[in-house]
Amino acid sequence: MKVDRRTFLKLTGAAATTTTFAGLGFNVSQAKNQAGELKTVDATATTTTCHYCSVACGIIVHSSDNKVIYTEGDPENPNNRGALCSKGSAMRQWTDNEQRVTKVKYRAPGSTDWEEKSWDWALDKIAQRVKDTRDQTFVEEEDGITVNRTEGIASIGSAVLENEACYLLVKMMRAMGLVNIEHHARI
């Protein structure tokens, strides 16, 4: 859900409820303030939920020109009503963070370093590896029962993926015959 600054201020101040079924994202001229304009005044506000624990606090991401300039608790979200802990408050630093990996990296056997690669190169290479390992370790039948099982490959992760990504991952891995499918919930 995207809201401009004025709507956001209104939401923040009012106890009124809202029903929305889609990202809004409209533009209204900025709110007039008696005080100085806030640093977020021209930003777009997008609602998300916290990426850390499972309380699922609502968070508003204020962004401008594809850059995050501020994040804060969503006062509308019933779980947190605007509150955030240290981790939730720090989520903004995921962006503009030099630690982020921004290129596909590859490490050859025995190598001491990463090499940067293109997505195309890496994805095709991975697909070949998957096929090789699957074909080598695939068990089609066991005691007369079709088992379609690939034990040579394992998939681990992840409880930080969205439901939609989790689902596609499961669908893909099961179709490839994987049974070594696990993630955070086990540990």
Q: Work out how close the CB of 28 gets to other proteins at its nearest, in angstroms, rounded to a whole number.
A: 16
C-alpha to C-alpha distance for 187 and 185, rounded to whole angstroms: 6
For other proteins, the binding residues in 76-135 under the rule CB under 8 A are 76-95, 97-112, 114, 119, 122-131, 133
Vertex 153: Cα angle to 151 and 159 (nearest 5): 115
27 binds other proteins (CB under 8 A): no
- DSSP element (H, E) containing 111: none
55 lines the binding site for other proteins (CB under 8 A): yes
Count of residues of this chain found to bind other proteins when the rule CB under 8 A is applied: 145
CB of 74 to other proteins, least distance (A): 10
Beta bridge partners, 182, equal 156
For residues 161 and 175, give the distance between their C-alpha atoms in angstroms, rounded to a whole number. 19
Q: Hey, what are 58's tokens? A: 């609502």
List, edge to edge, every strand of the sheet that includes 2-3: 2-3, 44-49, 58-64, 67-73
Residue 28 in contact with other proteins, rule: CB under 8 A: no
Q: Is 14 in the site for other proteins (CB under 8 A)?
A: no
Q: Which of residues 147-186 bind other proteins (CB under 8 A)?
A: 147-186
Residue 30 binds other proteins, judged by CB under 8 A: no
